Amino acid sequence: MYQHGAMGLGRTRPGHVWNLIRMYGPDLTGLCRAGTALIPNVAGIGLSAGPEGDPFPQIRFSSDQGSTSLEDAQERLDDGPCRDATSTRRPVHAADLSDPWWLEHWPRFTPAALHSGARAVFALPLHAGGVRHAGAVDLYRRTPGDLSRADQTTAAELTAAATELLTLERLGLDWTGAFTDARQDASGAGTPIVLISRRTGARAAVPPLVRWFDQASMGWVRLRVHTDSIRHGLVRADADRFALAVHETMANSVQHGGGLGQLLLWGRNSRLWCEISDHGAGIGTTLRSTHAHRPRTGVRQRRVTGFQLIERACTSMDLTTDTTGTRVRLSYHNDAGGSGHC
């Protein structure tokens, strides 16, 4: 009876996931609220989340009183589908809570769920783009029955988008303006003006950048990265080198990661950072993280076209990959004197 099925695993359409992020990011609550309309055959949606390994993910969203009751019960009783999805890292779907098996499996949660009016519950673990978070997206129905194939796909895409926005939160930056700019920019790249204070002659603070790319738009995004790299203080030769590394990474995402991906660019601690992520099949089959400045002895890897060039062009390169996608983070030391990759 206990179904840890394939629901939500390997069924997302990457373009749909990135469109959800583009439309609602960085507002996690707004994304979850939209989910109630995107999956009309469920009565409510909840989200609990925390860092990977956290045994007690915190409630982040409840769409209605029923979802609030279910999320509260799982947090209070330490029992239920969210806890199982977190510990097993697999989706959970209980299509009929009135079956005695579920009372035996969740002796504390099941009575509470039935009392709140739920008759079927589902939980999808937070795992996308090679990154995991503790917790899950929870859905419930007031009548018994499994989710349709279409609803399973949409739920998986909503969960992947929520995972990406949770990953974005880890950076500790305000991305509101960056998402607004990206939505307003029809070309996907734009050409910002370098702002200089008339009083001091100093460069104004450069906001972070978010863009989504495919084969057709990579060139425009590369130009925007080059422009913003100069705005962050890189000399032109270093901006050329960094933009080339970013372009090669995007090309790998397009070629190996499903044809499209997301780019984030920001400055911190005298470094310019860029993260490129996709929701492809990953490089290999196990989660791992490698660093350009660390020896890789004893680790068998598939050499992806352009990675040697990328490593040589940047101060650091961090790669995380598994079957849900690949995430590459590049940095370039900004010493305002050139040759920051050395």
Is 4 within a domain?
A: no
Mean pLDDT computed over 263-286: 89
State which of 169, 202, 225 marks the end of a domain: 169
Apex 178 CA angle, 331 and 240, nearest 5: 40
Enter the tokens of residue 328.
């590459």
Helix axes 14-24, 149-169, angle to 10 degrees: 50
Q: What is the pTM of this model?
A: 0.87
CATH of the domain at 21: 3.30.450.40
Helix, strand or coil, per DSSP, at residue 327: strand
State which of 169, 185, 200 marks the end of a domain: 169
State which of 118, 138, 169 marks the end of a domain: 169
Asked whether 25 and 211 are in contact (CB, 8 A), the reply is no
Clarify whether residues 134 and 108 are in a common domain: yes
Enter the tokens of residue 222.
């590369």
Tell me: the pLDDT tens digits for 226-262?
A: 999 999 999 999 999 999 999 999 999 999 888 999 9
CA 324 vs CA 10, 49, 106, 261, 329: distances in Å: 7, 18, 29, 13, 17
Q: What is the pLDDT of residue 190?
A: 43
Q: What is the pLDDT of residue 204?
A: 66
At which residue do the structure tokens 């993260």 appear?
A: 275
Clarify whether residues 162 and 200 are in a common domain: no
For the chain, the distance separating the N- and C-terminal CA atoms, rounded to the nearest angstrom, is 58
Instruction: Tell me which residue of 29, 72, 20 sits closest to 169, measured CA to CA.
Output: 29
Asked whether 261 and 254 are in contact (CB, 8 A), the reply is yes
Is 153 within a domain?
A: yes
Clarify whether residues 205 and 114 are in a common domain: no
Q: How many domains does the chain have?
A: 2
Phi, psi of 278 (to 5 degrees): -140, 170
Residues 6+ apart with CB under 8 A from 56: 50, 75, 78
- Residue type, position 220, single letter: W
Q: What is the pLDDT of residue 222?
A: 97
Clarify whether residues 119 and 193 are in a common domain: no
Mean pLDDT computed over 69-84: 96
Clarify whether residues 235 and 139 are in a common domain: no
Over 60: is that where the pLDDT of 296 sits? no
Q: Kindly state the DSSP code that residue 329 receives in the 8-state scheme.
A: E
Is 97 within a domain?
A: yes
Is 305 within a domain?
A: yes
Mean pLDDT computed over 201-205: 60
Clarify whether residues 197 and 115 are in a common domain: no
Rg (CA), the chain: 22
Domain that residue 288 falls in:
176-333
Residue 308's pLDDT band, with cuts at 50, 70 and 90, is confident
Over 90: is that where the pLDDT of 193 sits? no
Apex 124 CA angle, 160 and 13, nearest 5: 35
Clarify whether residues 21 and 145 are in a common domain: yes
Is 6 within a domain?
A: no
Is 9 within a domain?
A: no
Clarify whether residues 264 and 163 are in a common domain: no
Q: What is the pLDDT of residue 300?
A: 43
Residue 161's pLDDT band, with cuts at 50, 70 and 90, is very high
Is 84 within a domain?
A: yes
Clarify whether residues 122 and 194 are in a common domain: no
Clarify whether residues 65 and 99 are in a common domain: yes
What is the percentage of the chain residues whose pLDDT exceeds 70? 82
Helix, strand or coil, per DSSP, at residue 173: coil
Q: What is the pLDDT of residue 242?
A: 97
Q: What is the pLDDT of residue 306?
A: 65
Q: What is the pLDDT of residue 284?
A: 62
In whole angstroms, give the CA distance from residue 34 to residue 28: 10
Clarify whether residues 58 and 162 are in a common domain: yes
Tell me: the pLDDT tens digits for 51-68?
A: 998 888 999 999 999 999
Clarify whether residues 301 and 239 are in a common domain: yes
Asked whether 165 and 32 are in contact (CB, 8 A), the reply is no
Over 70: is that where the pLDDT of 332 sits? yes
- 77: exposed, middle or buried (C-beta count within 10 Å: 0-12, 13-18, 19+)? middle
- Edge-first strand order for the sheet with 316-322 is 209-214, 260-268, 271-278, 325-333, 316-322, 288-291
Enter the tokens of residue 214.
């495919």
Helix axes 149-169, 28-38, angle to 10 degrees: 180
Q: What is the pLDDT of residue 264?
A: 98
CATH of the domain at 279: 3.30.565.10
Is 342 within a domain?
A: no
